Amino acid sequence: MDFNLEEYIRAIVRECIAEGPEMKTRFTAEDIAQRFGWSPANARRVINNGSFGEVIAASPKHKVVTLQGVLEFERNRTVKALTHSKRETGRRTVIHKNPGRI
């Protein structure tokens, strides 16, 4: 019984890469909704607004966007990290006044 661990790991990696979402070249509203965590109606609205660039009309109701449009949308929507550090605020002192007799 000959078991080659290296070949087994390579096969698993090939399967994982083949199942990746980037291997698709066209995305429907349902795919986009799943990718961004939106409802399908919201994904259709964003597609119809033209935010994903070129739209391929599969039928009057169903539209498909390209991988290039999805990647460009993600690049534009990515938030840039802060490059400067926040200034430390001074310690606030609380003045405890004697309220007197309660």
**Span 24-77 CATH architecture:** Orthogonal Bundle (1.10)
pLDDT, residue 84, reads 62
Angle between helices 40-49 and 29-36 in degrees, nearest 10: 110
**Kindly report the CA angle at 35 between 49 and 80, in degrees rounded to 5?**
80
pLDDT mean values, one per 10 residues, the chain (102 residues): 79 72 80 92 92 86 89 82 64 74 78
Give the domain ranges of the chain: 24-77
pLDDT, residue 11, reads 86
Instruction: Say how far residue 60 (Cα) sits from the centre of its chain.
Output: 27
- For residue 43, the tally of other CB atoms under 10 A from its CB is 22
pLDDT, residue 30, reads 93
